[in-house]
Every structure is written in structure tokens, then in C-alpha cells.
Amino acid sequence: MPLYLTFTFAFLGFTCISAARVVLSLFALELGARPFAVGVLIAMFYAFPLLFSWPIGALSDRVKPRWPLLGGAVCGAVGMAIPYFVRTMPALYVAAALSGLALALLHVLAQNLVGLMSKPAERARNFSNFSMIGASTNFTGPLVAGLAIDHTSHATACLFIVAIWATSGALIFARGKVLPMSKRHSGPSTRILDTLTDRKIWRTLATSSLAQLGTDLFQFYLPIHGHAEGLSATAIGVVLAAFAIASFAVRSVLMRLIKNLGEEKLLAYSFYLGAAGFMLVPFCHSAPPLAVVSFIFGCGMGCGQPITLMLMFSHSPQGRTGETLGLRLTVNNLMRVLGPAVFGSVGSALGLFAVFAINAAVMAAGGVMALPEKPPPDAQ
């Protein structure tokens, strides 16, 4: 079945990306890289998704997905093979950049395929399942990376990731013919920027980027707060694990929550939980309460990206779903690049409490923005 095929190669590809982040970061430290160089290395994973998610989305509306997906698998495999043969920092940068290009191709095309193959009544369930696959790879990827490094070496661990990419590519090559492409736009020709005049589109873009910003900053600043409170690395890891567990758990019941509350109201509530999480962190000084707060935050933000993905697909013009989903990922990645820099400056100038307070206010504003709009008084 094409949908399960999509889920399978998405799982394999996202596992590769998660594993590559760990392997390349540890490989860089093994080579003696400084923290700044490791930060640049991680940023390379997002360079191509930022630049090319939108064009890739437009491409996905015009061609069959088999060959672009296969190209992504090849990019990922070639990229991770390079550090095995050339064990230098420039080689790691190239590997990270090519892995980012593979991520851009996989992410845009896979989520568009899920939407295209889902009937309206099934869309919430299928996007929820897709988001659970992404969440599960946050566990499987680092696990593969850790086991491979501990039992072989950093360089050989890269070959394990190459093997997974090769498996994904072989699957796409053998069965990719069954994957559908977008229905061609039958109405008058429009530019994608024209769709931004639709309030539903830009509201969804705004809430999606805020959900991404909140998630990234929480995962970045919570360890800093924990370290300042004297928590061990293990304790901080447990606190972050509570966030991951909550995200997976809430996505497992996402369809039921949407049925009871509706997509937009649930999204608003998820932002309010996110705001509560940010506000509570500065008042927690040990691992157990921080883990509870992390779990609360995960329950909220675990809903954010799946729901904005559903809303963006449903609001997309016919035949332009890939392009609008690519635009969403471009905005999200732009926020991932700019957000840490902006709030890093805030933290340096005003302290961590100000960072958490401002983020709480931003999350609360996102909740207000996400609330369903009331129909005009004369609407029937």
C-alpha cells in the first residue's frame, strides 16, 4: 500500500538524519573541534532545508515523487560516506550539508504524499501517524548512532547510516512507481505569494513557526537552566526524555483530541500549555519538577507541528499542496536559524528568566492567534 510505503521510507530516512546529527557531532569532537565549530556543523543540516524546501515543494507538484525521493536517498548516502574516506572537519561539513538536502527532499515530499493519499476524514489520523514516526526516530536515530560508535568507530558508524540510506533508496527504486503526484491546478494561474492574502494561510504559517521556535528554544535553554542549578548530565537527559515521551504520547491520541476539540482550538490549548511550561521552568530547581514541566510542555508542543501540517495542507490551493508545505518548512527553518540568535542576545543582556518569560508571552500570543475565528454576524 503506497501510504505504508511512505511511512516506511520516512522512518528510515528520518532515522538516518537523527543518527547523522549524533555521529557527526561526536566525530567533530573526536577530531578536536571547538564548540563553535560543532554549532556550525549542526547549522549545516538546516542550510539546504532553509534554501530549498519551497522550490522542492513546487517541484513535487509537477513531477512524480519517485526520482526526487531517490535523489534524496543518494545525497544522504554519498554525504555520510565522505567522512569514512576523508576524516577532516571540511568533510563533516559537506556530509552535514548533503544530509540536510536529503532531509529537505524527504520531508517535503513525504508529508505531501501523506496528504495526497488521505481522504479528508482520514487526514488527521494519517498525519498523526506520520508525526509519531518522526517522533520515534528521535529515539532510534541516536540509538543506532551510539551503538555503532561504541562497537566500531566514528568513521565506521557513518557506513551504518549509508547502509540505511541504501535500504531506503532500494525500496523507493523498487516500489516508488505506486506513489501518486499532485493533481494539476485546474483554475487560473496564480503565484504562491498570492495565497498569502488568505488569512488562514498566513495564520497557519505564523503558528507553525512559533511552535517550532518554542520547541527548539525549550530544548536549548532547559539544559542551560539545569546546568545552572547544578543538575548532572544524566538528570538533564531524563528531563529532556520527559518532553520526548510526552510528545509521542499526545500524538498517539491526537485524532481523538481533534475529534473532541477541533484542530484550531486544540492548537490554541497546546500553545497555552507551552506558555505554562516556559513560565514554570525558572521556579524549578531540581530534576523531578523540571521533568514534570518538561512533560507538560511536551504535551502541548507535541500537538503543534502535526496540527499546523494538517491545517496547511487543507488550506492549500488545489495542485499547490507541495509548494505550500514547502513554504511552511522554509518559514520554520528560518525561525530555527534566527530564533536562537535573537534569544541568545536577550539571554546575554537580560538573563535566563527574561528568555523564559518572553517565550511564555510569545506562546500565549500564539494561542490567541490559533483560536478559531468567529464568523461575521451576518454569516448563515
User: pLDDT digit string (tens) for 61-84?
Assistant: 788 888 999 999 999 999 999 999
Same fold, 2-178 and 196-370: yes
* pTM to 2 decimal places: 0.77
Q: Which three cell numbers stand for residue 62?
A: 509537477
Supply the mean pLDDT for the chain.
Answer: 83
Q: Which three cell numbers stand for residue 260?
A: 473532541
**Above 90 in pLDDT, residue 130?**
no
Residue 183 phi/psi, 5-degree rounding, is -70, 135
pLDDT of residue 82: 96
- Residue ranges per structural domain of the chain: 2-178, 196-370
Q: How far apart are the C-alpha atoms of 77 and 213, rounded to whole Å? A: 29
Task: Answer whether CATH 3.40.190.10 is correct for domain 2-178.
Answer: no
Task: Name residues whose C-beta falls within 8 Å of residue 356's C-beta, 6 or more positions apart in sequence.
Answer: 221, 225, 278, 279, 281, 282
H or E segment to which residue 155 belongs: helix 154-175
Per-state percent for the chain, helix, strand, coil, to nearest 5? 85, 0, 15
State percent of the chain over pLDDT 70.
91
Fold of 196-370: Growth Hormone; Chain: A; (1.20.1250)
Confidence class of residue 162 from pLDDT cuts 50, 70 and 90?
A: very high
pLDDT of residue 380: 47
**Above 90 in pLDDT, residue 264?**
no
Confidence class of residue 324 from pLDDT cuts 50, 70 and 90?
A: confident
Confidence class of residue 373 from pLDDT cuts 50, 70 and 90?
A: low
**Above 50 in pLDDT, residue 51?**
yes
More confident residue, 212 or 297: 297
Asked whether the beta carbons of 264 and 124 are under 8 A apart, the reply is no
Task: Name residues whose C-beta falls within 8 Å of residue 350's C-beta, 6 or more positions apart in sequence.
Answer: none
Asked whether the beta carbons of 297 and 274 are under 8 A apart, the reply is yes
